[in-house]
Amino acid sequence: MMDKTRHLRVGWGGAGDRRPAAAPGAAGTGRGGTPPEGAGGSGPRFRAGLLAAALGLALHPALPAAQDGTGLDDVIGRAAAYVATFVDDLSNVVMEEDYRQTYYRNFNANPARSQLVSEFLLMRVDEDGQWVGFRDVVELNGRQLEERGDRLATLFVDGGTNALAQARRISEESARYNLGATERTFNVPTYPLFFLHPANVDRFRFERLRTGRAGCAGAAAAWDVRFEEVAYPTMARGFQGISLPARGRFCLDPQSGRVLETEFELHHPAVSRGLPATETTARVTFGLEPRLNLWVPVEMRDSVSEDDGRRMVGIARYRNYRQFNVIVSENTDPPPDEPDERGSPR
């Protein structure tokens, strides 16, 4: 019998083993635009204006650079460098997450509701700076779940030989508390930042948005930048491993590359009558935590909508940021008496 639960998977490692998809150039930066196999490698990156002139296409003209000569490629490069540093800065910070979800079944006026209180931390998983956001639910609708306080941080402080494997199991175990029919592990506030990591940025193409107003996220000088994933297989996976290209926008400080806000969307096509098409969205805002002098996630608003009328909306807020010293062992082998349960990470 077919499993009616839809699984949305995210990759744990870098994108070096993924072959970029063939994609046309895009307005803005040409990152991610790659010729088909046999066309002679990845080729140069063309600006939108040159593409329009060469092809005679009715593309929107490229936005002028900032007055100091800053162009979109410069801003994306600074954002990638910022994200690489962000991982180092935040990877020893654990925070408390208050995540409230509301689930509507077939436009039902009496939705199901839940409140999850969790510990959340960001952890580097290899020398290239790749990372994973881990969530450990400690309280459900006001009820404490066993004795779980700080068990994620304790794993890494102790530096056990299989700390990463255990943390992944904890995070996936916590995903079962999400409301709705769609099983998901990407609904963490740091997930879209992975797209800007230097190892992944060429998988995407970017375009500065023209909204008719200055700035974004309340910052007049910030740049609103749209992104679209064009390399396959994609970083997020769906039912039976199908690729789910991400798209969305970043609000970026053009001088520092600081990420002020992220927004992304995933579309899962219908697989069968029992698995309708699904749209997922998430928007995360960041703010300065003065005690730590770090920019941290402040709020995440997400939604999952299915064509049959079922819908989940959630809002998570973050607080109680605290630092800890961490020792991580890269050996994720299970102890001799423990069966190997690693499998394919989500």
Query: How many domains does the chain divide into?
Result: 2
Q: What is the edge-to-edge ordering of all strands in the sheet holding 93-104? A: 143-144, 131-140, 112-124, 93-104, 311-323, 294-306, 278-289, 259-268, 247-252, 223-229, 204-208
Task: Indicate whether 3 belongs to any domain.
Answer: no
Q: How much is the pLDDT for 14?
A: 34
* Residue 337 domain-assigned (yes or no): no
Question: 176 in a domain, yes or no?
Answer: yes
Query: Block means of pLDDT (10 residues each) for the chain, length 346 residues?
Result: 45 34 35 36 30 28 50 97 90 91 83 93 68 85 77 62 70 84 82 92 94 80 96 91 95 96 94 83 96 94 89 96 64 45 36
Flag whether 204 is in a domain.
yes
The pLDDT value recorded for residue 48 is 27
The DSSP H or E segment spanning 102 is strand 93-104
Q: CA-CA distance, 308 to 276, in Å (whole number)?
A: 7
The letter for the amino acid at 93 is V
Domain end residue (candidates: 34, 62, 90) = 62
Same domain, 280 and 161: yes
Residue 215 CB neighbour total at 10 angstroms? 15
Please tell me whether residues 27 and 90 are part of one structural domain.
no
- Both 103 and 223 in one domain: the answer is yes
Among the candidates 43, 62, 81, a domain finishes at 62
β-bridge mates for residue 140, sequence order: 116, 143
Residues 150 and 242 in one domain: yes
Rounded Cα distance, 199 and 80, in Å: 9
Q: What are the φ/ψ torsions at residue 157 (nearest 5 degrees)? A: -65, -40
Report residue 251 as tokens: 């609000």
What is the C-alpha separation between 295 and 260, in angstroms, rounded? 9
188 Cβ contact partners less than 8 Å away, ≥ 6 residues apart = 120, 133, 135
Q: Is 340 exposed, middle or buried (0-12, 13-18, 19+ CB in 10 A)?
A: exposed
Tell me the two tokens of residue 299.
């709020």
Residue 212 lies in a domain: yes
**53 and 79 together in one domain:** no
Q: By CB neighbour count within 10 A (0-12 exposed, 13-18 middle, 19+ buried), where does 161 fall?
A: middle
- Determine the structural domain holding residue 108 and report its residue range: 71-323
Q: Are residues 240 and 307 in the same domain?
A: yes
83 shares a domain with 179: yes
27 domain-assigned: yes
Residue 150's pLDDT is 63
Residue 151 shares a structural domain with residue 55: no
**Looking at the DSSP assignment, which residues form a beta bridge with residue 102?**
113, 313
Q: Are residues 56 and 198 in the same domain?
A: no
Q: Are 181 and 5 in contact (CB under 8 A)?
A: yes
Order of strands, sheet of 182-184, starting from the edge strand that comes earlier in the sequence = 182-184, 6-10, 236-237
d(CA 200, CA 39): 22
Q: Using CA atoms, how far apart are residues 346 and 10, in angstroms rounded to an integer?
A: 5
Angstrom distance (rounded) from CA 117 to CA 101: 11
Task: Give me the residues paired with residue 163 across strands.
Answer: none
Kindly state whether residues 283 and 258 are assigned to the same domain: yes
**Whether residue 32 is found in the same domain as residue 159:** no
Residue 341 lies in a domain: no
Q: Which of 12, 29, 62 is the last residue of a domain?
A: 62
Rounded to an integer, what is the distance from CA 3 to the centroid of its chain? 26
Identify whether residues 113 and 230 lie together within a single domain.
Answer: yes
